[in-house]
Structures are given as structure tokens and as C-alpha cells.
Amino acid sequence: MKRLILLWLIVAATITVTALTPVVELVAFADSAAATNSSPTADEPVPLTDRVPWLIYVVLTSSSVALAWILFSLARARMKDTGRHEEKQT
């Protein structure tokens, strides 16, 4: 179950990142370059942080959720282990 949830988180992150790729801009740029028959000027690409500033919050939230999941799993396992250890001593 845990692996399935982790797999879905990875798939969702991959889909989000690939959906942000500016394919439409590339097609429009190719059409305009073909129409003018001139060499395009090389502009600097816009940084990812300027294109999607909210992506940092998605990454931080997903990593925080994964870390919390690991910590709660360890705490639950420790509590179960402690309960078994106390039963053996009595």
C-alpha cells in the first residue's frame, strides 16, 4: 500500500513537470521562424522558477508529507515493538 502511494506521488510529480514544458511556445516559434526564413535570435530561456513559482511549494509539501509518513511509520513500529517487549517481561 505504501509503495503504491509513493508511486502515485512520483507519477503526479512527473506529470506536473512535463505538463509545464512550453511545447506551445516551441511550435509557435518554429512556425514564425519558417515563415520569415531568417535565423532566429537566441534569447535566454526563462528560468523555471519564473515560469512556475508555485512549484517550489509543491515540492516542499510532497517532501514534508513523505518525511511525516516515514516518521509516523517508525513511531508506530516502535510502539508495537515496545508493547511486545513489555508483554515478554511480565
| Rounded distance between C-alpha atoms, residue 67 and residue 56, angstroms | 16
Write down the pLDDT at residue 11: 73
pLDDT tens for 42-76 read 788 898 889 999 999 999 999 999 999 999 999 99
pTM: 0.45
Is pLDDT of 9 > 70? yes
Is pLDDT of 28 > 80? no
Q: Rounded to the nearest 5 degrees, what angle is found at the Cα of 52, between the Cα atoms of 58 and 4?
A: 30
Mean pLDDT of the chain: 78
Write down the pLDDT at residue 66: 96
Write down the pLDDT at residue 49: 85
Could you tell me if 40 and 33 are in contact, meaning their C-beta atoms sit under 8 angstroms apart? Answer: yes
| H runs (alpha helix) in the chain | 2-19, 23-36, 48-51, 55-89
